[in-house]
Structure 1
């Protein structure tokens, strides 16, 4: 779930509590390139105010004009944009691209209250909407679940799909925690040192004073878990890294210089980790961007974390335009091969 979409739900709930009606738009299908993925949200207040995004702006403008001209729809419905080349150009979609939305009129804040309460508790939640009846329901979701729409029922998934454990509660951890919260990670911060943990103040995170290796074992890291050691203290970092490297965690990293990380790898080999497990440690953590301050280092680590999560090899990261051009060339080459 995108953090912007959580903001959409919160703002929509506020508008509803103030007695305003709201139109909630959800992207349910896309064909070709699309500015926002399935599940992206836009809330339109009955007077035309908006929060969220489903496109670069043109579709939002059209929905606002439709709301002013036709008023709030009586029931949930679906709409499509960009079916033909002319409409695709008008709405900023590639020629032949299509985006399908479900529009849901809301008047009662209670359903969003229930959803937001479960999200505040850190749950991953499935919300189903049956268009013919307008009925909605909440249920537990699983991390691999995606937005789905069969023409009658829309299933949306809300809540954090990825978990992050930060070992150390210093200034860098605070900067990194704020960034990764915005990236929709469920963030746990572990630091048994009272002088650091007592000063921790990042809303939305979970703080624990247990020993880091016990926390890692208790979390049972899976393929959607990341662990980052930030303390520079081998007594805190090493055992936790050992447990994390033995797990399916998709990203395990440690702060420190190249020399310190080389020494750390030697220590980890003494814990009977195999060569592949030790090699999986990312250290020094982050991408090279010339970072110096805690905020800059946090940007570097967050960038590498997202790259690994999205299946990009960080050592080969390209500027956006160059990367997209390379992907298009590869896709065209594969298409040409398939036609032969």
Structure 2
């Protein structure tokens, strides 16, 4: 599963190969409520096809109409929507919302190809556009780098800004890995069990050799790293957690029921060199309570919690009292047996003010 940037890049390159003209649209700044954050991408084809989004409303339709009318040519163009209340209502923006967009007509094909290659290699890339000339440069970026815009030059960061290390290559991992890749996580997997490691074949999520504790140490977790233990085997999960909870990883979680995770916390306190504060960092059962039972549902709940923590949102909520009992071990990321990018579309091209 490709990231949103990857989908836009793929569309631009495919359309160019087919002989179509296209434009790349980037959200530069927002004020008030805005449907898409700065850095969001959308590709427009000369006949009205769209990949990605900048608002999810009539702004896309207005841009498509102008693209089809041949308005976007030459050097990059700045466009602002939602300056007044009437215009915000006209384009379906939230109350008080304003978007500033950079529109690049006919983005350089060679530069797009080079960016796509770097992203497929799992690299983090800073793309800088000179608004006056349209010149584009690509440079290596660092996790934590942010969009920069000074009115003349726009720098955006593309690629896996976050890392996810999954301990366990079972069924849940097969759903969790591609979901995380779609959210711009660089995903790696560790599983010393031959029965699972031999069958691991998820594209873009390499299998790292070694025992979980050694792999976590070698991974060098940082504040942009999440680590999730999914084997449901204390001999393996606890090894990973021992090192992960000492690290600066922003999220550390483990599969299992509340009963099993309470026992795990007690083991970590009694038998390992972990403080109460370090043990308290453990998210267990991993995932938000959404009534999950199947592997894809559990994967969704885990990634939702990882995303909430990454975004600084307290998404915790009380779990049903029954979840504390051993009989509920199957629900909410209990075990391997139990266990969600816009598509290309043709805009209807509503009239300005639609």
TM-score, length of structure 1 as denominator length: 0.89
C-alpha distance in structure 2 between counterparts of 1:246 and 1:107, whole Å:
45
CA contact 2:261–2:285 (8 Å) conserved in 1:
yes
Distance in 2 (CA, whole Å) between partners of 1:17 and 1:302 is 36
Q: Is 1:73 aligned with 2:73? A: yes
The 1-side partners of 2:313 and 2:131 are apart by: 38
Q: 2:223 — aligned with what?
A: 223
Which residue is 1:297 aligned to?
Answer: 298
1:95 Cα deviation after fit: 4.3
Larger displacement relative to structure 2 (88-97 or 163-172): 88-97
Give, in whole Å, the separation in 1 of the partners of 2:108 and 2:96: 38
Whole-angstrom CA distance in 1 between matches of 2:137 and 2:196: 42
Separation of aligned partners in 2, 1:303 and 1:84: 35
1 or 2 for the larger relative contact order (CA 8 Å, sep ≥6)? 2
Q: Secondary structure at the match of 1:315?
A: coil
Q: 1:287 to 1:241 in 2, by over 3 A?
A: same
Matched with 2:201 is: 201
Which range moves more in the overlay, 185-194 or 305-314?
Answer: 305-314
Q: How many Å separate the matches in 1 of 2:68 and 2:45?
A: 10
| 1:107-146 aligned within 5 A | 108-146=108-146
Secondary structure of the residue aligned to 1:237 is helix
> How far apart are residue 75 of structure 1 and its match?
1.1
Output the CA distance in 1 between the equivalents of 2:262 and 2:176.
Answer: 24
Distance of 1:295 and 1:254 partners within structure 2: 16
1:251 maps to: 251
**CA–CA distance in structure 1, aligned partners of residues 61 and 192 of structure 2:** 51
Give a deviation string over 1:93-138, Cα, whole Å, max 9, x none.
2344321100101264211110011101111100000011111000
Q: Name the Cα RMSD after superposition.
A: 1.6
Aligned length: 316
Hey, what does 1:179 align to over in structure 2?
179
Label 1:86 to 1:300 Cα distance change in 2 as closer, same or farther (>3 A). same
Relative to the length of structure 2, the TM-score reads 0.86
- Report if the CA contact (8 A) 2:57-2:93 is conserved: no
**For residues 178 and 107 of structure 1, do their structure 2 counterparts lie closer, same or farther at Cα, with a shift above 3 Å needed?**
closer
Structure 2 gaps of 5+ residues are: 319-354
**In the alignment, is the contact (CA less than 8 A) between 2:73 and 2:106 conserved in 1?**
no
Shift of 1:166: 0.5
Whose helix fraction is larger, Structure 1's or Structure 2's? Answer: 1
Aligned to 1:313: 314
Query: Deviations along 1:215-246, whole A, 9 cap, x unmatched?
Result: 11111111111111111222211121111000
Structure 1 residues 1-340: aligned runs within 5 Å = 3-106=3-106, 108-269=108-269, 270-316=271-317
Contact map agreement 1:30 1:97 (CA 8 A) in 2: yes
CA distance in 2, matches of 1:86, 1:314: 35
* Deviates further, 158-167 or 199-208: 199-208
| Contact 2:165 2:226 survives alignment (8 Å) | yes
Q: Secondary structure at the match of 2:243?
A: helix
Distance 2:295 2:97 in 1: 42
Instruction: Give unmatched runs, 5+ long, in structure 1.
Output: 318-340
Aligned to 1:328: none
Give structure 1 regions of 4+ aligned residues with deviation exceeding 6 angstroms.
none
1:278 to partner: Cα distance? 0.7
Aligned-partner Cα distance in 2 for 1:146–1:207: 29
| Aligned partners of 1:197 and 1:209 also within 8 Å | no
Following superposition, the deviation at residue 307 of structure 1 comes to 1.3
